[in-house]
Amino acid sequence: MFPLTVENKHVAQLLLSTGTCPRCIFRFCGVDFHAPYKLPYKELLNELQKFLETEKDELISEVPNPPPKKIRLQELEDGIDGMDNLSQNGEGKILIIEDGSIASKNSNLNVCNVCLGILQDFCEKEFIKKVCQKVEASGFEFTNLVLSISFPPQLSVREHAAWLLVKQEMGKQSLSLERNDTVQLKEAYKWITHPLFSEELGVPIDGKSLFEVSVVFAHPETVEDCHFLRAICPDCFKPAKNKQSVFTRMAVMKALNKIKEEDFRKQFPCPPNSPKAVCSVVEIECAHGAVFVAGRYNKYSRNLPQTPWIIDGERKLDSSVEELISDHLLTVFKAESFNFSSSGREDVDVRTLGNGRPFAIELVNPHRVHFTSQEIKELQQKINNSSNKIQVRDLQLVTREAIGHMKEGEEEKTKTYSALIWTNKAIQRKDLGFLDDIKDLKIDQKTPLRVLHRRPLAVRTRIIHSMETHYVDEHHFRLYLKTQAGTYIKEFVHGDFGRTKPNICSLMDVTADILELDVESVDVDWPPALDD
């Protein structure tokens, strides 16, 4: 059943006569159900002409445009090489413009003066197949996808002009047309193309999918359509660092909402002029949202930083905990980059023992995302076999939200340490006993001198929950501490020139220093422990 009614006939005839395509005519007549938009373009045009009951010799036929200059036919690269013509009868061939962009050409169609060919050439099956070929050649794993379409901002100006034209004509019949009474271009495009993409790729379209296919359209011929708006609404077009042009879609829409109808009509034709060429596709890109891997690591070396140690552009040590773990993940997940985070950090000369320190790694734009639990176990084993400096346990895929559990523990949880301490004065066992009796000792720590270059100057109150001493000899003893997370242990021992008070030196009335330090446990119950 044809979607237009007798009441639409005058508007439909007007739009068609001024160069508007059938699907855009449906939009401005308020056709808000999907089926009519999905019909093949030629069928739509024939049905529309029949509906308008135009005599054969008066039909507004769409004749071919001369090809734009500097256009040459060639096979598309990047996954499109070697393809035959888009259809058996040779229509709808893909063109490569000199700047490398993609344009679709159907020899029987004029270009719509509103959508610039978007709803003519770029929602037909032949074009969808070309995009899908590029998606399949990208090498990404995906079980669903979100389709992101970017239209040239001047389309909004042309839509506004067409709306004003229709609104004026309907006003002559004492009818009104609000802006939201029309179907938006992007909405109609989705109605047509989403089922086609889903069918071609065999996966559903899902707005929450982490896999995004973005298609960017451009139309150089009409790029100046929206420039007049800047003179009338200059406050809407302010330069932004991350934008190449001030004429963004949002800026144009903001200006269109502000400009008076009479001012718009003075500056821009209603109806808009018919272009010579259709839009071109300047970009088809695939990207996958980040995935997150978490676990716990043990560090057994006293000559290994947690993250790359670089000072003034010079690397001090060959490797780091971060790299020994992440290099393997980058390879297996086929990711572009990563971000490493952990529940606190240890110094280069400090070991992390016990159950290890929780960590999480964000893998950016991974091409492979589906792993069985057995494959993750094998990946963990591969990491552990690659170095004797670290070991990883409880490796698992987690959500972005779950990482918050690790960060919550950085300041709120407790940590247990073991320190080998030297004293300048000779000591006996009895000199240590009083330390064992101290509970929940509050200390004030001014930002240590050794980290002042990367942490703000402040005084932080921390709690030493308990201490236990083991006598070694007259100048050495081992101290086991359970402290609030975020406590600087080395400074608690030697005092950091009085910046930490009280400290072991002041408590024992000696000069003391720390020779070895180990993290025995990080009491954060995350990530969940796994059975080996």
89-108 core/surface letters (b: 16 or more CB in 10 A; e: else): eebbbbbbbeeebbbbbbee
* Phi, psi (deg, nearest 5) at residue 163: -65, -45
Euclidean distance between CA atoms 483 and 468, whole angstroms: 12
Contacts with 171 (C-beta within 8 Å, 6 or more apart), sequence order: none
Active site residue 347: yes
Catalytic residue among 263, 327, 347, 349: 347
Contacts 24+ apart (CB under 8 A), 142-145: 142/203, 142/209, 142/211, 142/288, 142/369, 143/203, 143/370, 144/203, 144/204, 144/205, 144/206, 144/209, 144/211, 145/197, 145/201, 145/203, 145/205, 145/206, 145/209, 145/211, 145/212, 145/213
DSSP SS3 for 166: helix
Strand duo 351-364 + 512-522: pairing: parallel
Give the number of C-alpha atoms closer than 13 A to the C-alpha of residue 371, restricted to the C-beta side: 23
375 class by beta-carbon count within 10 Å (0-12 exposed, 13-18 middle, 19+ buried): exposed
Inter-helix orientation angle 249-258/154-172, to 10°: 30
Ordered alpha helix ranges (H), 52-107? none
CA 333 to chain centre: 17
Instruction: Report the greatest alpha carbon distance in the chain.
Output: 115
Euclidean distance between CA atoms 56 and 50, whole angstroms: 10
Question: Which residue is associated with the tokens 């950091």?
Answer: 496
* Beta bridge mates, 117: none
Give yes or no for a contact between 120 and 191, defined as CB atoms under 8 angstroms apart.
Answer: no
Euclidean distance between CA atoms 522 and 9, whole angstroms: 75
Q: Which residues are catalytic?
A: 347
